[in-house]
């Protein structure tokens, strides 16, 4: 059951009705029942066994660790065992073929590996998201930043809460514990705000992302026919599609959750306003970046091995090297995993390594950049400089996304090479490629898509202006008189109905981040 399907909205309406009819004390039980029903309807129900394995491991582990807190060695051993059990479904189901194909590749160099066969496992829905959330909770209890949840059913609700389960955001236990289990009275305005946010998500997904996807797919599928400027535009179009798809998905998820009285953490904060790629990753998929920092980066940097490395580098190569080298190594591990998290394939890993390398090179050249800025009298806080930095960040991000979108590293590299062919930037070549692209298209469909995307982006631009000024568009709407308010809402609703791509003849693609 897709989050943009008719049946999802029927499911949401029925769930909300039951949720607000029953006594407040029973609401969390109902929420768990709703979440498990959603899982059964949306995925392969039998894969729930993996989900229960993860829930049982973190529930038992967190409570036992709390009981033996005084014995740090034993607590650490329990943590490691429970982490292995909780992570096993993710590692085995999602990465078996990655390890096997990598082993086959290495053996192939020495003339062997023919006997290595790929496996065909079915991963449980949202395994990459809920596993990270579950692991974060267990580690929090070990660190003492969260208290363990005594009830296994409440622990299960934290892991399986249906709006966020299949595509995030990756929440922390302390963010949800007071909300998930508490009774919620029906509040008209809160439900309205939630539904309005879903509407915005539908504009992003069905009107903009889906209309763009058709053409972005055409360009990527037939990329051998194009080069230069045309491929650069194709990449820019895909970046817009990805942003609209993922942030639209988050609007639907956060809006649906808000209807139940549960506010999930934000996953986006105007990422294309970022001045560096480091800042970009603090504004794009925020909860994943925060998770990787807290549960991968920090433990590595605070490990005995890293501290020993820092001390030995300080003694042999000086303070500066001892501060930077261990940090850069830890960063590369983080970015390696960031890439691998997206999927078990080397092109995903290449994406992560690209971002890590750009950040490290940027830091190494920081002093040189400062000198250049001083030499050219560049005002660091000026609007033009900010605009240039944001554009540069977007280009760096787009190159990384290319590795994400391409099916192999070789194809991504080929795409970059084709983008950089100087002769292909000549107007004549570009027009020729544009004709090749337009030739098989239906003019009416192309025109409709163009109008849909333009109008959709115009509507969303208004929303971005509100966000940039720190205002809530939903509160602004609520303060209008009833005629204006409903006129705007009906306009947006009919806008989705008229310009969105959906319906029985059209199978709306899954969310790009829904498959992880």
Partner 1 sequence: MSREEILKKVNEIFWDVFDDESIVVTEETTAADIEDWDSLTHITLISEVEDEFGFTFAMKDVLGMKNVGEMLDIIEEQI
Residue 311: how many CB atoms within 10 A of its CB?
12
Stretch that binds partner 1, among 56-64, 294-302, 438-446, 490-498 (CB under 8 A): 294-302
Instruction: Please report whether residue 307 would count as binding partner 1 according to CB under 8 A.
Output: yes
Task: Closer to partner 1 by CB, 322 or 449: give it.
Answer: 322
Instruction: Please report whether residue 270 would count as binding partner 1 according to CB under 8 A.
Output: no
Query: Which of these, 63, 40, 5, 26, lies nearest to 160 by C-alpha position?
Result: 40
Stretch that binds partner 1, among 299-307, 402-410, 457-465, 498-506 (CB under 8 A): 299-307
Stretch that binds partner 1, among 179-187, 221-229, 300-308, 406-414 (CB under 8 A): 300-308
The values of phi and psi at residue 301, to 5°, are -65, -25
Query: Do residues 112 and 104 touch, judged by C-beta distance below 8 A?
Result: no
Instruction: Please report whether residue 302 would count as binding partner 1 according to CB under 8 A.
Output: yes
Smallest distance from partner 1 to CB 326, Å: 9
Q: Which of 294, 394, 457, 485 binds partner 1 (CB under 8 A)?
A: 294
Instruction: Please report whether residue 177 would count as binding partner 1 according to CB under 8 A.
Output: no
Instruction: Please report whether residue 310 would count as binding partner 1 according to CB under 8 A.
Output: yes
Stretch that binds partner 1, among 74-82, 302-310, 432-440, 487-495 (CB under 8 A): 302-310
Instruction: Please report whether residue 323 would count as binding partner 1 according to CB under 8 A.
Output: yes
Alpha carbons 453 and 276: distance in angstroms, whole number: 28
Task: Closer to partner 1 by CB, 216 or 330: give it.
Answer: 330
Q: Helix 127-143 crosses helix 173-180 at what angle (to 10 degrees)?
A: 100
Query: Do residues 160 and 55 touch, judged by C-beta distance below 8 A?
Result: yes
Q: Which of 319, 383, 435, 469 binds partner 1 (CB under 8 A)?
A: 319
Burial label, 88 (beta-carbon count in 10 A; 0-12, 13-18, 19+): middle
Q: Which of 256, 288, 297, 402 binds partner 1 (CB under 8 A)?
A: 297
Distance of CA 367 to the CA centre of its chain: 32
How far is residue 356 from each of residues 256, 324, 327, 330, 346, measured CA to CA in Å? 34, 14, 11, 10, 15
Smallest distance from partner 1 to CB 76, Å: 12
Stretch that binds partner 1, among 79-87, 137-145, 160-168, 245-253 (CB under 8 A): 137-145
Smallest distance from partner 1 to CB 332, Å: 13
One character per residue 144-163, x = contact with partner 1 (rule: CB under 8 A): xx------------------
Task: Closer to partner 1 by CB, 314 or 414: give it.
Answer: 314
3-state helix, strand, coil in the chain (%, to 5): 75, 0, 20
Instruction: Please report whether residue 301 would count as binding partner 1 according to CB under 8 A.
Output: yes
Instruction: Please report whether residue 143 would count as binding partner 1 according to CB under 8 A.
Output: yes
Alpha carbons 170 and 139: distance in angstroms, whole number: 14
How far is residue 279 from each of residues 12, 270, 347, 397, 466, measured CA to CA in Å? 35, 11, 23, 11, 21
Query: Which of these, 121, 128, 169, 101, lies nearest to 347 by C-alpha position?
Result: 101
Stretch that binds partner 1, among 110-118, 138-146, 391-399, 421-429 (CB under 8 A): 138-146
Query: Element (H or E) spanning 41, and its range?
Result: helix 27-42
Alpha carbons 325 and 85: distance in angstroms, whole number: 33
Q: Which of 189, 293, 303, 380 binds partner 1 (CB under 8 A)?
A: 293
Positions touching partner 1 (CB under 8 A) are 143-145, 293-294, 297-298, 301-302, 307, 310, 319, 323, 327, 331
């Amino acid at each position: 059951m897709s989050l943009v399907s008719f049946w999802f909205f029927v499911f949401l309406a029925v769930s909300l009705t039951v949720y607000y009819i029953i006594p407040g004390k029973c609401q969390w039980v109902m929420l768990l029942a709703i979440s498990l029903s959603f899982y059964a309807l949306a995925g392969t129900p039998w894969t729930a066994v993996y989900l229960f394995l993860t829930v049982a491991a973190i529930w038992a582990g967190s409570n036992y660790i709390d009981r033996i807190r005084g014995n740090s060695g034993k607590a650490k051993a329990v943590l490691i065992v429970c982490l292995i059990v909780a992570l096993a479904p993710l590692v085995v189901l999602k990465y078996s073929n990655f390890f096997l194909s990598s082993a086959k590749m290495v053996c192939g160099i020495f003339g062997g590996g023919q006997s290595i066969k790929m496996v065909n496992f079915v991963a449980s829905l949202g395994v990459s998201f809920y596993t990270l959330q579950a692991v974060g909770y267990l580690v929090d209890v070990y660190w003492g930043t969260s208290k363990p949840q005594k009830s296994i059913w409440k622990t299960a609700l934290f892991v399986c809460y249906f709006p966020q389960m299949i595509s995030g955001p990756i929440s922390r236990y302390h963010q949800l514990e007071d909300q998930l289990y508490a009774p919620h009275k029906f509040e008209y305005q809160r439900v309205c705000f939630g539904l309005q946010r879903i509407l915005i998500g539908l504009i992003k997904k069905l009107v903009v992302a889906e209309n763009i996807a058709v053409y972005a797919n055409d360009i990527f599928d037939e990329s051998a026919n194009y080069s230069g400027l045309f491929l650069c535009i194709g990449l820019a179009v895909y970046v817009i599609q990805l942003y609209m798809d993922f942030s639209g998905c988050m609007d639907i998820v956060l809006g649906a959750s808000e209807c139940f009285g549960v506010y999930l953490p934000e996953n986006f904060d105007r990422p294309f306003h970022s001045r560096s790629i480091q800042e970009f990753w603090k504004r794009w998929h925020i909860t994943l970046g925060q998770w990787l920092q807290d549960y991968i980066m920090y433990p590595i940097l605070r490990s005995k091995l890293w501290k020993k490395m820092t001390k030995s580098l300080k003694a042999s190569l000086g303070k500066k090297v001892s501060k930077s080298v261990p940090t850069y190594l830890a960063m590369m591990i983080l970015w390696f995993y960031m890439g691998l998290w997206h999927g078990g394939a080397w092109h995903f890993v290449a994406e992560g390594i690209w971002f890590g390398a750009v950040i490290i090179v940027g830091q190494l050249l920081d002093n040189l950049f400062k000198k250049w800025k001083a030499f050219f009298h560049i005002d660091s806080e000026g609007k033009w400089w900010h605009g240039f930095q944001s554009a540069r960040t977007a280009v760096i991000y787009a190159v990384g996304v290319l590795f994400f979108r391409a099916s192999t590293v070789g194809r991504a590299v080929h795409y970059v090479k084709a983008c950089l062919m100087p002769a292909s930037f000549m107007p004549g070549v570009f027009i020729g490629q544009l004709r090749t692209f337009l030739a098989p298209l239906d003019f009416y469909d192309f025109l409709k898509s163009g109008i849909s995307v333009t109008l959709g982006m115009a509507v969303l631009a208004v929303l971005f202006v509100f966000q940039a000024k720190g205002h809530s568009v939903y509160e602004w709407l609520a303060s209008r008189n009833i005629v204006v308010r409903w006129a705007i809402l009906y306009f947006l609703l009919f806008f989705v109905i008229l310009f969105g791509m959906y319906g029985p003849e059209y199978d709306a693609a899954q969310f790009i981040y829904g498959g992880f």
